[in-house]
Amino acid sequence: MKNTIFIILVIGLITLSACTFTTDSNNQENTINVQGNSELRFQPDEAEVSIGVSILKPTAKEAQDEVNKVINQIIDNLRYKGFDEKDIQTEQISLYEDYSWSEDGRESLGWRATQNLLVKSDDITKVGDIIDAATEGGANQINNINFGLSEAKEQEYKAQALSEATKSAKDKAEIIANSLNVKLHELRSVTESNYYYVPYRYDMAMGVEKAADEAATILPQEVTITAQVALIYTTK
């Protein structure tokens, strides 16, 4: 009966998500279980641009040779604009026979070679330079731009998010304890129940001719970091 009264008091005095007050039947120890949440927004400090080349030729060798030629030219252009080779990665490669379909069946159009590059920059104002280098080199696909956080910034902001989630959980525990006229005693458990980071993705739904102009006008949105921390306190 005593436990039931405690639970009714918690519900009646305060409504807080993910908070419980329980009694351990083995050692008659009362506990308060709480969960704190935080959601923080930060300006991105890193950009990744996905660019691609897709070539259709009569033979597989011709298609692949042409793609290699264009990719090499794009990489040379990027180097000339000051981008380091370590920030240029091959994202995807494919080579296959392409067909058209009709009521009479399929007809070979030739061989299609495709290669995508992912170019990273720690200066988000240089997105336009990346797209210029790609289109001038012969790229015919600008897929998307991801605005996100460098590893160092992500770790820094994760610490802030976890700190705020922990404070939120502790504040909830103190409110519940005060409402029940009990005091928090020992912190028995701390659990990082969730951490989530979402970069801002901008899809380039346009031809390469307009991509450079579009990139110059993009205003990257803030990225969101969320964290959840669960705490268990004993009471006295």
The verdict on residue 211 lying in a domain is no
Does 137 lie in the same domain as 51? yes
Q: What is the mean pLDDT of residues 98-122?
A: 92
What is the C-alpha separation between 229 and 154, in angstroms, rounded? 18
pLDDT band at 89 (very low <50, low <70, confident <90, very high): very high
Q: Is pLDDT of 57 > 90?
A: yes
92 φ/ψ angles, rounded to the nearest 5 degrees: -160, 140
Does 164 lie in the same domain as 106? no
pLDDT at 221: 84
Q: Is pLDDT of 4 > 90?
A: no
pLDDT at 225: 95
pLDDT at 198: 86
Q: How many domains does the chain have?
A: 2
pLDDT band at 21 (very low <50, low <70, confident <90, very high): low
Instruction: Tell me the per-residue pLDDT of 133-175, one tens digit each, with 9 for 90 and over.
Output: 999 999 998 888 999 999 999 999 999 999 999 999 999 999 9
CB-based contact 137:70 (threshold 8 Å): yes
What is the C-alpha separation between 179 and 5, in angstroms, rounded? 13
Residue 59: both structure tokens together? 């033979």
Instruction: Tell me the per-residue pLDDT of 178-218, one tens digit each, with 9 for 90 and over.
Output: 999 999 999 999 999 888 888 888 887 556 666 666 666 67
Residue 180: both structure tokens together? 């029940």
Does 176 lie in the same domain as 89? no
Residue 127 sits in which domain range?
46-148
Task: From 148, 163, 180, give the residue that closes a domain.
Answer: 148
The verdict on residue 216 lying in a domain is no
Residue that the structure tokens 């103190």 belong to: 174
pLDDT at 7: 34
pTM over 0.85: no
